[in-house]
Amino acid sequence: MYNEKVMQEFAAPQNVGFIEDADGVGKVGNASCGDIMEISMKIDDSGIITDAKFRTFGCAAAIATSSVATRMVIGKHIDDALSIKNSDVVETLEGLPPQKIHCSVLAEEAIKEAIADYKAKK
Ligand code: FES
């Protein structure tokens, strides 16, 4: 069902955890499958995301997309991170089964939520 890239990412996800003194936290869920994804970020004064971690209660695709999403945002300015689309995450994973595309949408939403949280706190 999953390609090798997704399985590798799922088997050895990066940036698992939670940043206790995070500047922004985004927690999103999908009502139909019940999966939950949370991304926490450290963001410096110039708006660069210096660290990102995730905690995901969900399927293999949700874990894999979370891992990729955190890697994609680290080092980026928040404005650039906001332009990351779920299709970018899917592309990095070299594809997801059609019924698993919504898992990548969670990753895009979690990024946006974390940045919105950061902006709200500022
Ligand atoms: Fe819902 Fe993967 S099945 S996030």
Domains and CATH numbers, the chain: 4-121 (3.90.1010.10)
Ligand 1 center–CA 80 separation, angstroms: 25
Separation of alpha carbons 25 and 59, rounded Å: 21
Average pLDDT over all residues of the chain: 97
Separation of alpha carbons 27 and 4, rounded Å: 28
Separation of alpha carbons 41 and 43, rounded Å: 6
- Does the C-beta of 61 come closer than 6 Å to ligand 1? yes
> Residues 16, 19, 24, CA angle at the centre, nearest 5°?
115
Separation of alpha carbons 71 and 18, rounded Å: 14
Atom 1 (ligand 1) nearest CA: 33
Confidence bin at 122 (pLDDT 50/70/90): confident
- For the annotated catalytic residues, the residue numbers are 33, 103
- Does the C-beta of 111 come closer than 6 Å to ligand 1? no
Separation of alpha carbons 108 and 103, rounded Å: 9
Separation of alpha carbons 68 and 1, rounded Å: 19
- Does the C-beta of 109 come closer than 6 Å to ligand 1? no
pTM (predicted TM-score): 0.96
Residues 6+ apart with CB under 8 A from 108: 69, 84, 85, 86, 89
**Residue in 6, 59, 109 to alter for ligand 1 test, most ligand atoms within 8 A of Cβ:** 59
The residue with tokens 């698993």 is: 100
**Residue in 89, 100, 101, 105 to alter for ligand 1 test, most ligand atoms within 8 A of Cβ:** 100
Per residue in 35-80, pLDDT (tens digit) is: 999 999 999 999 999 999 999 999 999 999 999 999 999 999 999 9
Structure tokens at 3: 């390609």
Q: Which helix (H) or strand (E) holds 92?
A: helix 86-92
